[in-house]
């Protein structure tokens, strides 16, 4: 038997050990206060894995299209960064590269790391891992930054209204990566990091 | 979890959280998500990888306006590939254009394929490639029929007869006037063919005009046929009739033309590579020839 405080209304209440597949709700406001074991880790791992699957096509297909009357050129996120770099826009090239290629990948790596350490019941670096997860949650809402940065910056820097974001397979994959990563980080229960019951910080 | 014994909120006094069974599906169902993702992503990657087939290189004298990743390779107006790189040949004599050909159009890269760059062209009688003023030049290809090949030498401009079937005959003349490739060939004023090329004969004693007659009209050309060139205007000064001016058509007035007549249907049809003399002007008699030659129905 442990105690939990409801995230929503703050009521402290007793929490009996939960069976798998069971959730506990606040007696006062009905908000969820705890989830039974299992599920969280599997969901996080599954969504992360699915996001990783789409990572490859997201960077293979063009997401940006520059139209110029009859002709067009299509560029992937990578091409866009390279192109910007060639044009001397080093800063923007770095931002685009980080936002669209590095950060999504690092996010997935971080999730896999969290899942693996919880799974192995590791007690090391728990404080750091909790902080890592908070960082993940912080950049969560910015998950679509990649496409956003690409579309706005490249459009501004290059040909203005002649550049459009391709609503094609590239964007679909990009969105899939972003959404699945978000679902993965939402599924992750940070309490699992502290589950071994070691009370020292 | 230590609390003051006198506190009202001892653990036992606290309300217990409500337990609710929520899951409607077993945990492993979530693993279907990466499974489906793997299939979809796999298909996407596979399609991307197999989108482009062979890479070909084409050597051009001049690649003005071609841009990597932008200029298209087209066949019959449809994009079949894309220029991926432009580099100079080691001896600086050519531009080596590397192009990726779409998988479904891989067959355009064959022995005998002709590549040329379409640019805006304003001639005395026609304007061609006007769209390329805005879009920039593109590479047009006419596929050959030989074996698959990846290295080509582009031509400056294709022969107008490229890819057209028909009877090819050669006309020889001492001096070429206004006849150029694409000059029309007329029979009774109807356009039945065109000049595909002009060149000097092998020993430089005559000018050769290569003519392509449309297949439908090929039978009109017989061994006894006479060809003459027309500048379109025919001015006759005559003591009794005064001045007589004949104008064939505005086009032939500007660009000239070739006319031919055939004496009768009995002489054997001309075959490929028959050489005719190209006369300067017709004899009166030729203009009266009107043999009955059945021609296939056409449109």
Structure confidence by residue, pLDDT tens digits, B204-255: 888 999 899 988 888 888 888 899 888 656 666 777 767 776 666 666 666 6
A40-60 and A169-187 helices cross at what angle (nearest 10)? 160
Using the beta-carbon criterion (under 8 Å), do B135 and A27 form an inter-chain contact?
A: no
The residue of chain B with its CA nearest to that of A170 is B44
- pLDDT bucket at B5, cuts 50 / 70 / 90: very low
Residue B19: closest CA among A15, A191, A40: A15
- 0.90 exceeded by the pTM? no
Tokens 């075959």 belong to B271
Residues comprising chain B, all counted = 299
Sign, CA dihedral A158-A161-A162-A163, equals positive
- ipTM of this complex: 0.74
Q: What is the mean pLDDT of chain A?
A: 77
Between A46 and B135, the higher pLDDT residue: A46
| pLDDT computed for residue B39 by the predictor | 93
Residue A25, Ramachandran bin (φ over 0: left; ψ between -120 and 50: alpha; else beta) = beta
**pLDDT confidence tier of residue B294, bands split at 50, 70 and 90:** confident
pLDDT at A142 over 70: no
Nearest CA to B213 out of B186, B253, B188, B178 is that of B186
A192 touches chain B (CB under 8 A): no
Q: What's the pLDDT score for residue B123?
A: 67
**Does position B2 have pLDDT exceeding 60, yes or no?**
no
Helix (H, G, I), strand (E, B) or coil at B118: strand
In this predicted model, what pLDDT tens digit does every residue of A39-87 receive, in sequence order?
A: 778 888 999 999 999 988 888 887 766 655 555 666 777 877 787 788 7
Question: Which chain B residue is nearest to residue A181, measuring alpha carbons?
Answer: B34
* Contact (Cβ atoms closer than 8 angstroms) between residue B131 and residue A70: yes
- Can you give the pLDDT at residue B249? 60
pLDDT of residue B78: 87
Is B71 touching A (CB cutoff 8 A)?
yes
> In this structure, what DSSP letter does residue B287 have?
G
- Per-residue pLDDT of B34-91, as tens digits, reads 999 999 999 988 888 887 888 899 999 988 888 887 788 999 888 888 898 899 989 9
CB contact at 8 A, B195 and B185: yes
**pLDDT for res B106:** 84
Does B131 touch chain A if contact means CB atoms closer than 8 Å? yes
Specify the pLDDT at position B59. 92
Instruction: Locate all alpha helices (DSSP H) within A87-125, ordered by sequence.
Output: 90-97, 103-119
pLDDT tens figures, A76-121: 778 777 877 887 778 878 877 887 788 888 889 999 998 888 888 7
Q: Report whether pLDDT(A35) > 80.
A: no
Higher per-residue confidence, B153 vs A137:
B153
Report the residue of B11, B29, B41, B72 to disrupt the A interface, i.e. the one with the largest count of A CBs within 10 Å.
B41
On average, the pLDDT of chain B sits at: 82
Q: How many CB atoms lie within 10 A of CB B243?
A: 8
Q: Band the pLDDT of B7: cuts 50, 70, 90.
A: very low
Q: Do A60 and B45 touch (CB under 8 A)?
A: yes
Nearest-CB residue to A34 (from B17, B27, B71): B17
Chain B residues in contact with A56 by the CB 8 A cut-off are 41, 45
Q: What is the full DSSP assignment across B67-94? A: -TTT-EEEETTEEEEEEEEEEE-TTSS-
Look up residue B165 and give its two tokens.
Answer: 């079937």
Q: Does B16 touch chain A (CB under 8 A)?
A: yes
- Which of B8, B9, B15, B17 should one mutate to test binding to chain A, selecting the residue with the greatest count of A CBs within 10 A? B17
Put simply, the answer to whether A14 touches B70 (Cβ < 8 Å) is no
Residues 6+ apart with CB under 8 A from B12: A14
Inform me whether the pLDDT recorded for B183 exceeds 90: no
Q: Percentage of residues in chain B with pLDDT exceeding 70?
A: 86
Dihedrals phi, psi of A198, to nearest 5 degrees? -75, 120
CA distances from B138 to B80, B116, B129, B149, B161 (A): 11, 8, 10, 21, 20
Instruction: For residue A24, give the nearest of B9, B18, B41 by CB distance.
Output: B18
Q: Which of A145-149, B255-259, B288-292 has the highest mean pLDDT?
A: B288-292
Domain positions in chain B are 52-153, 167-288
Per-residue model confidence (pLDDT) at position A144: 57
B12, B27, B37: residue with CB nearest A53: B37
Shortest Cα–Cα distance, B215 to chain A (Å): 35
């Amino acid at each position: 038997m442990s105690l939990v405080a409801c995230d929503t209304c703050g009521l402290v209440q007793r929490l009996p050990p939960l069976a798998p597949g069971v959730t506990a709700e606040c007696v006062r406001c009905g908000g969820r206060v705890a989830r039974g074991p299992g599920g969280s880790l599997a969901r996080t791992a599954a969504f992360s894995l699915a996001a990783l699957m789409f990572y490859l096509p997201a960077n293979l297909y063009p997401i940006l299209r520059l139209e110029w009357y009859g002709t067009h050129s299509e560029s992937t996120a990578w091409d866009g960064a390279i192109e910007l770099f060639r044009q001397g826009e080093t800063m923007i090239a770095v931002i685009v590269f980080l936002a669209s290629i590095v950060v999504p990948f690092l996010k997935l790596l971080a999730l896999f790391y969290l899942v693996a350490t919880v799974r192995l019941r590791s007690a090391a670096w728990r404080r750091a891992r909790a902080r890592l997860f908070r960082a993940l949650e912080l950049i969560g809402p910015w998950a679509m930054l990649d496409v956003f940065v690409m579309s706005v910056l490249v459009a501004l820097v290059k040909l203005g209204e002649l550049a459009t974001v391709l609503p094609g397979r590239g964007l679909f994959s990009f969105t899939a990566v972003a959404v699945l990563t978000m679902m993965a980080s939402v599924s992750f229960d940070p309490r699992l990091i502290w589950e071994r019951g070691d009370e020292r910080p | 979890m230590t609390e003051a014994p006198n506190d009202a909120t001892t653990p036992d006094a606290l309300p217990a959280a409500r337990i609710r069974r929520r899951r409607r599906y077993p945990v492993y169902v979530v693993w279907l998500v990466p499974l489906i993702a793997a299939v979809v992503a796999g298909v996407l990657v596979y399609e991307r990888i197999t989108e482009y087939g062979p890479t070909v290189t084409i050597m051009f004298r001049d690649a003005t306006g071609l841009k990597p990743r932008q200029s298209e390779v087209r066949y019959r107006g449809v994009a079949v590939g894309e220029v991926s790189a432009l580099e100079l040949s080691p001896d600086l004599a050519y531009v080596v254009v590397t192009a990726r050909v779409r998988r479904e159009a891989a067959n355009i890269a064959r022995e005998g394929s002709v590549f040329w760059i379409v640019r805006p062209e304003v001639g005395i009688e026609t304007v061609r490639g006007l769209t390329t003023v805005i879009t920039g030049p593109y590479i047009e290809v006419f596929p050959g029929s030989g074996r698959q090949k990846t290295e080509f030498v582009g031509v400056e401009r294709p022969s107008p007869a490229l890819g057209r079937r028909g009877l090819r005959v050669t006309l020889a003349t001492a001096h070429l006037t206004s006849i150029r490739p694409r000059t029309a060939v007329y029979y009774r004023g109807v356009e039945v063919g065109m000049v595909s090329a002009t060149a000097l004969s092998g020993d430089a004693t005559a000018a050769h005009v290569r003519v392509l007659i449309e297949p439908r009209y090929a039978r009109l050309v017989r061994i006894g046929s006479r060809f003459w060139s027309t500048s379109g205007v025919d001015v006759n000064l005559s003591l009794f009739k005064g001045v007589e001016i004949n104008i064939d058509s505005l086009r032939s007035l500007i660009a000239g033309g070739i006319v031919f007549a055939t004496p009768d249907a009995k002489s054997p049809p001309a075959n490929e590579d028959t050489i005719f003399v190209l006369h300067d002007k017709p004899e009166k008699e030729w203009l009266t020839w009107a043999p009955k030659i059945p021609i296939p129905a056409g449109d």
